[in-house]
C-alpha cells in the first residue's frame, strides 16, 4: 500500500538527508531542518511589556528575556528578535493560537511559519562553520548558550540562537532564502564534513 503520510515540504534548494563535503571522518557539522516547528513573533503593545511577560509565563512558562538573550521551557524557546520583538519557536502546531489567546490585547502575535525556516546546526565544527559567514563573535567568551542575535550570515539576514554548549545553534532565515543559506552552509562546512539529517520535529 502506498505511504500517504504527509511530510513537511522542504524549502526550494534544500536537498533530502545525506552526507556532503569531506567523507574521510565523522561529520564535524550536523544540520537538521526543523520544518514542523512553529515560529511566532510576539510584539508587546506600548506599555504592555510586563503584562505580556506575565501572560507568557502563565501560558507557556517563559518570560520575555532581555536584549540578546533567549529563554527555554521544555521544547519551547523565546528569543529576543530586535527592538520590541521576540520570536517563539517550538514543535507545537497551535502555538500561534495559544499565544494569541493568552496575550489578548497586550501584544501582537504574528505566525511566521510560512515565511521563515529554522535550521539546527550542531557539532564540533559548527562554530567554525558559522563564523565564516558572519561578523558576530561566536567565541564562548562573547556568545554562549542562551545568547541570540539578529545578524547577517553570508549575505542573508538571519537570527542566531546558541541552543547548547555542544555547540549547537538555531538559525532562522527567510523561507525564500533557505536554498541560498543551505548552499553557503554546505560550502562552508565542506572541509569538516556535513551530515544533513532527516527533517525532524
pLDDT tens-digit readout, 53-68: 999 999 999 999 999 9
Whether 52 shows a pLDDT value over 60: the answer reads: yes
Tally of domains in the chain: 2
Is residue 20 helix, strand or coil? strand
Mean pLDDT of 109-136: 95
- Taking residues 82-92, report their average pLDDT: 94
Q: Provide Rg for the chain, Cα atoms.
A: 17
Strand-pairing partners, residue 169, are: 121, 162
The per-residue pLDDT for range 125-178, each reduced to its tens digit, is 999 999 999 999 999 999 999 999 999 999 999 999 999 999 999 999 999 999
- Angle separating helix axes 49-60 and 95-103, nearest 10 degrees: 130
Do 77 and 141 fall into the same domain? no
Domain hosting 182: range is 18-35+114-196
pLDDT score for 200: 64
Last residue of a domain, one of 94, 111, 128: 111
pTM, entire model: 0.90
CB neighbours (10 Å) of residue 131?
14
Given a cut of 70, whether residue 8 has pLDDT beyond it is no
C-alpha cell read off for 165: 554548549
* CATH code, domain with 57: 3.30.70.1520
User: 121 forms bridges with which residues in the sheet?
Assistant: 31, 169
Contact 79, 62 (CB under 8 A): no
Residue 1 lies in a domain: no
Q: Which of 111, 141, 170 is at the close of a domain?
A: 111
Residue 36: band (very low, low, confident or very high) from pLDDT cuts 50, 70, 90: confident
Q: Mean pLDDT in the chain? A: 92
Does the pLDDT of residue 201 top 70, yes or no?
Answer: no
Instruction: Give the end of a domain, one of 78, 95, 111.
Output: 111
Amino acid at each position: 500500500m502506498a505511504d500517504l503520510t504527509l511530510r513537511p515540504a522542504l524549502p526550494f534548494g534544500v536537498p533530502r538527508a545525506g552526507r556532503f563535503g569531506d567523507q574521510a571522518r565523522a561529520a564535524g557539522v550536523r544540520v537538521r531542518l526543523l520544518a514542523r516547528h512553529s515560529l511566532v513573533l510576539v510584539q508587546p503593545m506600548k506599555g504592555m511589556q510586563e503584562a505580556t511577560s506575565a501572560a507568557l509565563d502563565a501560558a507557556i512558562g517563559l518570560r520575555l528575556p532581555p536584549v540578546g538573550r533567549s529563554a527555554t521551557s521544555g521544547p519551547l524557546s523565546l528569543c529576543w528578535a530586535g527592538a520590541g520583538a521576540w520570536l517563539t519557536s517550538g514543535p507545537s502546531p497551535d502555538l500561534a493560537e495559544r499565544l494569541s489567546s493568552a496575550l489578548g490585547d497586550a501584544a501582537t502575535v504574528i505566525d511566521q511559519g510560512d515565511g521563515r525556516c529554522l535550521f539546527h546546526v550542531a557539532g564540533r565544527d559548527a562554530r567554525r562553520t558559522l563564523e565564516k559567514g558572519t561578523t558576530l563573535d561566536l567565541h564562548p567568551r562573547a556568545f554562549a548558550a542562551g545568547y541570540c542575535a539578529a545578524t547577517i550570515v553570508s549575505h542573508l539576514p538571519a537570527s542566531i540562537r546558541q541552543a547548547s554548549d555542544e555547540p549547537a545553534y538555531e538559525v532562522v532565515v527567510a523561507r525564500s532564502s533557505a536554498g541560498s543559506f543551505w548552499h553557503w552552509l554546505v560550502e562552508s562546512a565542506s572541509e569538516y564534513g556535513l551530515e544533513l539529517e532527516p527533517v525532524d520535529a
